[in-house]
Amino acid sequence: MKRRLPNYKDLAPLMQFKTPELNAKKRRLDQALTIWDLRTIAQKRTPKAAFDYTEGAAEAEISLARARQAFEDIQFTPSILRDVSKVDLRSQVLGGPVALPFGIAPTGFTRMMQSEGEIAGASAAAAAGIPFSLSTMGTTAIEDVKAANPTGRNWFQLYMWKDRDRSMALVDRAAKAGFDTLLVTVDVPVAGARLRDKRNGFSIPPQLTAGTVINAIPRPEWWINFLTTEPLAFASLDRWSGTVAELLDTMFDPTVTFDDLAWIKDQWPGKVVVKGVQNVDDARTLASMGMDGIILSNHGGRQLDRAPIPFHLLPEVVREVGMDTEVHLDTGIMTGADIVASIALGAKFTLIGREYLYGLLAGGREGVDRTIAILEEQIARTMRLLGVTSLAELEPRHVTQLERLVPRAR
């Protein structure tokens, strides 16, 4: 073997050093390549009670685990030798344009989890051209969300309270602020048993204990932001002292029926979507009532544990009502491939909740931007590898749901 001294001209192209990123937040977020990476960052930077409220589900958290497993248990069927140099992720949803096949789901107590809260989500949604959903349990006023997303699509999520007048006053405010869609959540007649919150003593406002203080010591930025920004307030109520579950049980009305839903639809000038549908019969009933859309959802696993898996329900529900009613989906999504699989099996749109919050906890507005960018990149890459260039080209033939949980014959 002949050897020689290295030639600088040969080595120079191989020795180009990356310019160091001096902004710590940007450096941290740039290193996050997946939603799971954002989750890891979020957990390190957020006190346990707030992170567990984001992360946790009901009881043994079986529903959430199964929903995520369902997305892992799929097989894609790609087509080859297609020109996929350009892909189009745009579509029409509920009568209006969306730039991506997902929007930001409604989340409660958002500013308690991270001080920028709904403003970060709404402004990031505006920049990305996707809808932002404000929860009845949100911590930013309806009008302030509109100001953060003045020309984009804002959706308002309604829990029907025992105090009907107060509920409809919120609906009226949302309509006057120009929100175009009402999401009526119907799977919360009472609060689910969220055991992490009970064990953490998660309350409004947060209660300081010795454990809380010890857990907060390595997370000073969270506390500084929490204590030096506007006091926590809610879109829908002025003050509350007690646990989250006690608040939900005080507010939610277990007597709500389909008749109430029809009445709500008559009061709202825009589109009405029912969130929390978990069986085919209810989907048929809602379609027959003229609802504009339904969201297959088990509330992120936060209500009934061992609830149906929305992704498994999707094909049958689409066959039954998809021609008349838009079918959307949430729960369990953690990658852009999950969203592609949902669209291929007939979902018109998807919503991200925890995924958005992981980004928010990891880096505020910039973290939400990173969540959206990660999912957009994953969606586009998955579509290219499948050999499709638009959402409309995605079909059930592209996805096989592999069987893991198969009901026993009766």
Is position 299 annotated as part of the catalytic site? yes
pLDDT tens string 327-340: 999 999 999 999 99
- The pTM assigned to this predicted structure is 0.92
In terms of pLDDT, which residue wins out, 88 or 168? 88
Asked if the model's pLDDT at residue 307 lies above 90, the reply is: yes
Cα torsion 75, 79, 82, 88: sign:
negative
pLDDT of residue 218: 84
In terms of pLDDT, which residue wins out, 405 or 315? 315
Among 299, 312, 328, 398, which one carries the catalytic annotation?
299
pLDDT of residue 9: 72
Domain 26-401 carries which CATH code?
3.20.20.70
Count of Cβ atoms closer than 10 Å to residue 23 Cβ: 10
Cα(131)–Cα(113) distance, rounded to whole angstroms?
A: 21
Mean pLDDT, rounded, for 132-158: 94
Beta strands in 288-372 (DSSP E): 293-296, 326-329, 349-352
pLDDT of residue 317: 97
Q: Which of 106, 125, 28, 18 is nearest to 373 (CA)?
A: 125
Asked if the model's pLDDT at residue 238 lies above 90, the reply is: no
Q: Which of 278, 340, 348, 338 is nearest to 131 (CA)?
A: 348
Q: Verify cis geometry, omega within 30 degrees of 0, for the bond prior to 206.
A: no
pLDDT of residue 310: 97
Cα(373)–Cα(357) distance, rounded to whole angstroms?
A: 14
pLDDT tens string 12-31: 776 677 777 778 888 899 99
Asked if the model's pLDDT at residue 384 lies above 70, the reply is: yes
Mean pLDDT, rounded, for 289-301: 96
In this prediction, residue 244 has a pLDDT band, given cuts at 50, 70 and 90, of: low
